[in-house]
Structures are given as structure tokens and as C-alpha cells.
Structure 1
């Protein structure tokens, strides 16, 4: 069931077009991510959903009703800020209760709802502490609790984990997903971190220059990117440009790189081919030959860069464990044609 429908939304700031006819649907109970580089329009779209910006054109519907007609404080939407914005002089429970008190709910109901959400986030024992007595991960949980205690239909998260270090961020990614499943609220997260989006979201919308490049589940987005931008932005990829033939993509000065060519694909025109580093195999046989120029070990996997004559950039290969080759070695690279993806 669709909860939010964004239809042809455009937003300009002077000569800059932040959003250019963006359309997308977000399902009830979905964890939806807006992913893209800085300046792509993702935060502007989030602010439109929250009510802090108005589009120049287009519509936004919540359950089929016009969301844009409601002021921010009347929308069943809550926004969790990147900075958490906790009140430093208030205890954890007072921070969480603040929004409910502003709505003048009965004190008994406030106490019950705050206690329930503290148990959900695992901080019942820290109810009397102030924010400066908590770790970064705990403060993030309090900010999340303050947002969900009001039981919004839609919770917006703007770069929610960017202030945390890598280990805590990984832990909180698991925690966010657990909480979202438990409370059943639709989450929309804005991030430029691909790993974060891939680990959290049910579906991801990739934005670029104010437009939507692709909307898909994480696995589909990674395995079958539809555009060159998506292939290059989401994870590591090797991109080759050439001419489409019956057997693959003919790259000048390199040769024909094999891939599965759709029967209805028009050959003879320009084409881009994407091959993930983990789909390339180092060995004594293969389509490409080159020289190892660098190798790096990342604990469990190694990244090997191979210079191939005719290509401007080295080809990146991902291998399990320590690198099986050393710098300066002459190698060949092969892959299964089905693992090479034609992108638009």
C-alpha cells in the first residue's frame, strides 16, 4: 500500500534547480532511502516532505490527500535532525516527553509512552541522565525515541548516523532497522553513504542533479544498475565505453569485452559496460591482460589494480584473502558474460 506519492516535484533556488520533476512512491511501513552526492536534491526533497520547503510545482500526497496543504506542525510527519538537537539541561525522559507535553497530552499517557519507548531503545536505566552523560550512540537513540514517541505516520532522518564513528555506526544501522521493524513506522532516510543505504533500506532512490536515476531494492540496484551514474556511484565498478556488437562491447584499443546482449538491442551504437571488481578473476587466461600496479589488503579481501594497455584507468579486482599476485606481475582478467552489465 502506498503511503506517500511524490508527483513531478520541482524546486528551484534562483538559477539552481534542486529538484527537477521528481516522482516516486513510498510504501506503508517501508524503510526508504534517498541516496546521492552532495547537491543532488535529496535534502530538499526531505524538507518538502517535512513542510520546511514548498515545491515550485508538483504534488505530494499522503494516503491520497494533499500533504502540501498542511503546515509542518499539522503533518503526521516527524524529522530527526543530523545534530540530534537534544536539550542539554533536560534528562533523557524529559527530552523524549517534550513533544508530548507540548501537545498537552495527559501526564499518565506521557509517562506510559515515554517508558515504552525507553524500553524499545534499551535505555530504561538512563532515563534520569542528561545528554552529556551519554555516548554518541545513546544520544542517537534518544533523538530517535523523541521522534517515534509521537507516533508519526512518516519519520524522516537526515544523515542520522554521520556523527558516529565507524564501529558505533555499524551497530546503530542494525539498531535502526530493528526499531523500524518493531514500531512499524515508515522511515525515509537521507544519506550519501552507499553502505548505509544498502544495509538499511528496503528500497533506494538514487538522485543526481535533481533527478531520479533509479529506484530499486539494494541487491537489484547493485547487481543491475540502469545508468552509468548509478553503476559508478553505488559501490566500486569498472566502467568501459565502446560500441555494442553481437558479442559484447568493442572498446577501442582493447578488443571486444563479452557480455549478454539483449536480442532487441541495437548494435553498432555507443555502449557502456560495468563489471564489479568481485566478478573479475585473476588467472592465466582471460579477455584482458595487464600489469599489477597496486594491491591493498582490507582484512578478508584484497583490492588489486591492474593497468591494461588502451585503458586510461587501472582495472580494479577484488580477491578473497591476501592478494594472490604481487606488484609488477603480468596477469590476465576474465569474467562470466552474465556478470557484465550494459548500462544506459
Structure 2
């Protein structure tokens, strides 16, 4: 995934400009910066959820990522999960989109989510348990591009460790972009670190 000269605006307000990001397959690219510098907006631009005001994004040379090849791990899992679905259905969603049957057992085990929780709804589990379900869904998806927005911000230390372990594993096969204000986390996980405050002025 490669972003070149990307700028983002909300109306007349410029969030950032001149941003260049290259995320290689098999590596983790970390993006840091102070609150309000546009880290989440940049991730939304990379995900195709916010149209850039300038620049371009290429996915293995193509202007758009193939359907189902991009996964977004959000900071607030409750905002991206259907409250009427069970955790089992949430985890299996990528397979359902592909029209295949999913054996979610391995993914669930790898993120430390107990089988007893799978038939509960988001309102019946903690934020950490729901984020584990989102992490398992990402594994089931087998995405080529993985975008993570403060994925450990709401988690306890044990859940944070599980997320870090899985992201290390995913970073071996996918192009991963990790956005966080936690510089220590980014340094520990990333092969390359981009400070957005510097990139935003074209450095």
C-alpha cells in the first residue's frame, strides 16, 4: 500500500497535507503523533472511508483495494459491531461475505476468546472481549492490508498483550499500518515509524 502526497480536509479546514506512507507486505508501519494531528483521518483515507483532497493511494499498484482485502481494527469496537449479532456471527462475517463456511475455532483460540462468549451479544461482553472478537474476525478475513486505529487504547494489560501478539503474527503476511499515540507500542511493533507531525508538512 502506498500513499503519495496525500492531503485531507474537512470543509475549509486542512487536517494534513503532503503525507507519504509506504506499507510493505510482511511489515508493520507505525504512525505516531499528538492528539488532533490527523492520525485517525489518515487511516480513514487509507481505508477508502474519507476521500483525500490531494494525492493518491495505490494498493499493489491498483487504485482500489480488492473487495475483502482490507481490514480495519477500530479503537472503539462497539462502533463497528452490530449490537444485534452474536460474537460468533461477528467473527464469521468475512466468511459469510465470501459465501463460504468458516471454522472460527482457530481464530477464536488465537485471540484468547472463550467459546462461552460466542453466543453473547456486544452489550453482554466487555470492551476487551469485543475487541478480541474483532481481532478474530480480522484473522478470519485474511486481509492483505490491515489498518489499526489505537487498537489497545481501551484494553487491560492482558488483552493488550494478546492484541500485540496477533498483530506481530499478522504483520508477517500482510501490510499493516498501526496508528497510536502510544510511542512505546509503535516502536515495539513497527518495522518503520512515521511521525505524522513531520509528514504533514512534507518531510
Partner of 1:24: 21
Task: Choose the corresponding residue for 2:189, options 196, 200, 204.
Answer: 200
Contact 1:41/1:209 (CA < 8 Å) preserved in 2? no
Q: Larger % of strand: which?
A: 1
- Partners of 2:36 and 2:126 in 1: CA distance: 31
What whole-Å deviation, never above 9, does each CA across 1:44-73 have from its counterpart, x for those lacking one? 211111111111221111112223xx6xx8
Partner of 2:47: 50
Mapping 1:180-329, distance limit 5 Å: 180-183=167-170, 184-208=173-197, 211=200
Change (3 A) 1:123 1:172: closer
Contact 2:3/2:58 (CA < 8 Å) preserved in 1? yes
Contact 1:173/1:196 (CA < 8 Å) preserved in 2? no
Asked which structure has the greater CA Rg, the reply is 1
Contact 1:207/1:213 (CA < 8 Å) preserved in 2? no
Structure ranking higher on relative contact order (CA contacts 8 Å, 6+ apart): 2
> Shift in Å at residue 144 of structure 1?
1.2
Partner of 2:133: 142
> Shift in Å at residue 193 of structure 1?
2.1
Partner of 1:155: 146
Is 2:11 the partner of 1:14? Answer: yes
Q: Give me the TM-score of the superposition, normalised by structure 2.
A: 0.83
- Alignment RMSD: 2.5
Task: Choose the corresponding residue for 2:111, options 97, 107, 121.
Answer: 121
Q: How many residues are matched?
A: 198
Change (3 A) 1:91 1:12: closer
- Partners of 2:8 and 2:199 in 1: CA distance: 9
> Shift in Å at residue 89 of structure 1?
3.6
- Partners of 2:106 and 2:137 in 1: CA distance: 12
Task: Choose the corresponding residue for 1:97, options 92, 101, 109.
Answer: 92
**Structure 1 segments (4+ residues) deviating >4 Å:** none
Is 2:72 the partner of 1:83? Answer: no
Unaligned runs of 5+ in 1: 215-344
Task: Choose the corresponding residue for 2:163, options 166, 170, 176.
Answer: 176
Unaligned runs of 5+ in 2: none
